[in-house]
Structure 1
């Protein structure tokens, strides 16, 4: 059995690799070539967190896996990740565990890659300015994914308190090879100004930016909301966007407050969703059709992303002799 740390993964797997893997994962999912039950979400109310169990099976890759990921916001106060996780990968031909890898970094990587895939497929090819709402553990991979698929000139980051400024300083160092200007915005309105791409990656229970200020032709990624109580996207952008795409229609309708809350108010129904991103990639559904359309992508995360990405990481690690082999 192979054990892979975050650093092991970084040695063999780039963000571009992750975007390609997630595109494949979404295509597999939308073709019905995977088994992906809705995740089990256990509320750990005593500690203000949740633990999620996400199983999946991809027959064409002979790969089975389950990611155990928790969201404990108070972990930040303890100086440890707020989204700890492990990915357990099984050989689909024997049922044996073949790899355990850092699921926290895998989650950041594949979640960022989902936005990267959607941006690559749906955003204007000429996009130059991006806005990111949120500066937590997921934000750096979200930013890198945008930079991996578009040659951006300016990225504006907005978050509560002084978190944006701290994030910007770290991002300038970590992503210096992209040679992009990264700044902290003083307000949501400032962040939105001229933004061609907008990514929200928070656990907020109220909208983090006014949707009516999103400019024509922009692309929006809604990433953070994964329970019915969370709603980082306002009802204006959800109802008024020209086209809406999701990672999984079933999962978004079951889990995302961004859509559940306006549906419960009768403002939209499931037909508001034009299709899954995998269907756009496969050519079954049309994506952006002109420069003025506002496109919206909502992801809650599905296990096929983890299984496909983990499978690719595992194979690359074996090829390069990376990781620690243990006998159990």
Structure 2
């Protein structure tokens, strides 16, 4: 078995590679070549915490995986991180457990790649301005994905605390030291949304971040922050104005996408208006963006087979390049 840490994953696996693999995984999912049982949550009520167990299988790749993520909010500000995760990868032809790897960075990477695939098909080719609402852990992966797909010239950052936006600005500069674009910090979410060609929503908000009426024609939105049925980053007006509302999976969206479910329950918008899954577009069965004036909206709550896909690719690269630490149980 190989143990593969975050630093090795960063060395081995680029965002560009991950986007290609995730796009392929979405096609597998659309063609029923994947299996993703409902995730199991084990609560630790004494600590207001939980551990999530997320299995998945991709038949054409011949791998299955289980991602285990513990979320301990009381670790905030302490020595140990709030979120800790690992992925166990298994060869589905032999049953051999072949790799154990860091899940935290890989989750950021594959979540970014999911938005990257959506941006490829749904954002305007000439999109230059990317606004980010929420500069937390997922934001770096989102920026990396968008920068891989479009030639961004200006990034606008909005965060509840300006200090975090300042830190994230420095992170972007360190990721792209030779990039000649500009980064500005905007204290008003409506102003950030109004200026964007591509808008990233990556918060855990339970109330909409901006007024959908400020969006200009041709905007593409990647909404990845809210992942529970009560959470909501965008308002009904955003959905009403969107010509195409696309989801990672319909099953996940109908259970966890508060951005869609809250307006539906209030009678402000109907989930029957969902255009389709990103896998249908990636497979060429439905059109992506069809003109420059469309407002397009991509909602992702995450799906386990993306972890299996990314983990299997990292493992194969580690084997071929002699990376990772080998051990026997």
Give the TM-score range, shorter chain: over 0.9
The corresponding residue for 2:120 is: 120
Give how far 1:99 is off: 0.5
- Change beyond 3 A, Cα 1:72–1:64: same
- Change beyond 3 A, Cα 1:203–1:122: same
Q: Does the residue aligned with 2:101 lie in a helix, a strand or coil? A: strand
Give how far 1:3 is off: 0.4
Give how far 1:210 is off: 1.7
Calculate the aligned-residue CA RMSD, in Å.
1.6
The corresponding residue for 1:220 is: 221
**Which one is further off, 269-278 or 173-182?**
173-182
Give how far 1:79 is off: 5.2
Cα pair 2:261 2:271 within 8 Å, conserved: no
The alignment status of 1:146 with 2:146, answered yes or no, reads yes
- Change beyond 3 A, Cα 1:194–1:174: same
The alignment status of 1:269 with 2:270, answered yes or no, reads yes
**Which one is further off, 296-305 or 35-44?**
35-44
Q: Which runs of 5+ in 2 are unaligned?
A: none
Give how far 1:75 is off: 3.6
* TM-score between the two structures when normalised by the length of structure 2: 0.95
The alignment status of 1:169 with 2:173, answered yes or no, reads no
Give how far 1:72 is off: 4.2
Q: Which runs of 5+ in 1 are unaligned?
A: none
Q: Does the residue aligned with 1:85 lie in a helix, a strand or coil? A: strand
Q: Does the residue aligned with 1:155 lie in a helix, a strand or coil? A: strand
**Which one is further off, 254-263 or 74-83?**
74-83
- Change beyond 3 A, Cα 1:40–1:278: same
Cα distance in 2, alignment partners of residues 172 and 22 from structure 1: 26
Q: Does the residue aligned with 2:98 lie in a helix, a strand or coil? A: strand
- Change beyond 3 A, Cα 1:275–1:215: same
The corresponding residue for 1:282 is: 283
Alpha-carbon displacement from aligned partner over 1:276-300 (angstroms, at most 9, x marks no partner): 0010011111221110000000001
* TM-score between the two structures when normalised by the length of structure 1: 0.95
Cα distance in 2, alignment partners of residues 224 and 119 from structure 1: 16
Cα pair 2:235 2:263 within 8 Å, conserved: no
Cα pair 1:147 1:178 within 8 Å, conserved: no
Cα distance in 1, alignment partners of residues 270 and 135 from structure 2: 31
| Equivalences for residues 34-73 of structure 1 within 5 A | 34-73=34-73
The corresponding residue for 2:246 is: 245
**Which one is further off, 17-26 or 187-196?**
187-196
